[in-house]
Amino acid sequence: MNNCSFASSKIVNLLPGKPFNYIIGEPFTEFASVDSTNNYAMAFVQNGGGRHGMTWFAHEQTAGKGQRGKAWHMRRSENIMLSTLLNTSWMPLSAQFSLSVAVSLGIYDFFAAHAGEETKIKWPNDLYWRDRKAVGLLIENVIKGNIWQWAVAGMGININQVVFDSLQNAVSLKQITGKTYPVIEMAKTLCACLDKRYKQLCEPRQDLVLLEEYNAVLFRRKERTRLKKGSQVFECVIDHVDKLGHLHVQHPVFESFVHGEVQWVL
């Protein structure tokens, strides 16, 4: 069942080369075990075999990757671990954060349909439920010269796992709702959500609409929180994220930060 419920519009003014003949999640390839679905997807592209929408799902990852080179460990067959290949050759390089917003909202649509309005997007693109992490997202790019050819969006979504070993702030859908979910079916529903948001991004001026929606569900927006820059921890009020992906806060005057410049202190 498709739980994506945001309003969709007819796609107009298509430019040559946009991949609307393909759907995210087709083909959908399952692996019993792989080092990293992102690694596999990137290798596939480098070998010239890529097509928009190709998706690779792993029941187990032995070397899953997170942001800034962090390892990402999830229990076998209990969660969604997948990567999908996105054609970005028609997008300017300056649109990289817009793609991240669209992918994040696709995941948000999927997860919040089950977990409710306490689901939020933590800048730049993780998903939290209350103060606990439910989703990790890593987007890797293939750029040749000034052409942004491909993006590989890899995501780990906690579905049925209830024991997280060393991860103290993780949470899964099963912990939130008390239900056990069919992981493969859920992964295919996720792909449908991603496809709708990708196609929305391709419409004229929808990048700004997507950014507005992103900010509406931004983690701790208009709340006091703590961030860390270097060795300094400071309190601030989260205000918004702009189209370049810069986080704007009030501390006590307005400041902005690029991804990696500050860390959350939760």
44 and 167 part of one domain: yes
The alpha helices in the chain, defined as continuous H runs, are: 37-46, 96-115, 173-177, 183-201, 206-216
pLDDT at 166: 72
Closest CA to 201 of 236, 151, 142: 151
Whether residues 127 and 251 share a domain: the answer is no
By C-alpha distance, which of 81, 106, 102 is closest to 4?
106
Question: In angstroms, what is the C-alpha Rg of the chain?
Answer: 18
Residue 8: inside a domain: no
pLDDT block averages, 10 residues each, the chain of length 266: 41 43 95 95 91 96 63 79 96 96 99 99 97 96 95 98 86 98 99 98 96 99 97 97 98 94 96
What's the rounded Cα separation, in Å, for the pair 82 and 87?
17
CATH code for the domain in which residue 44 is found: 3.30.930.10
Cα–Cα dist 151/84, whole Å: 8
What distances in angstroms separate CA 26 from CA 32, 57, 127, one per listed residue?
A: 18, 12, 25
Asked whether 138 and 67 are in contact (CB, 8 A), the reply is yes
Order of strands across the sheet that contains 263-265: 254-257, 247-250, 232-241, 224-229, 263-265
Same domain assignment for residues 182 and 231: no
pLDDT at 74: 75
Shared domain for 178 and 80, answered yes or no, is yes
pLDDT at 157: 98
According to DSSP, residue 59 is labeled S
Q: Write out the residue range of the structural domain in which residue 117 sits.
A: 28-216
Alpha helices in 18-163 (DSSP H): 37-46, 96-115
Specify whether the CB–CB gap between 246 and 257 falls below 8 A: yes
In this structure, are 230 and 175 located in the same domain? no
pLDDT at position 63 is 79
Residue 242: which H helix or E strand, with range?
A: none
CA separation for the pair 12, 141 (Å, rounded): 27
Sign of the CA dihedral running 193, 126, 182, 173: negative
Is residue 92 domain-shared with residue 210, that is, in the same domain?
yes
- pLDDT at site 48: 87
Regarding whether 142 and 114 lie in a shared domain, the answer is yes
Please report where in the chains the tokens 């052409």 appear, as a residue: 147
Q: What is the pLDDT of residue 17?
A: 45
| pTM for the whole structure | 0.90
Residues 206 and 250 in one domain: no
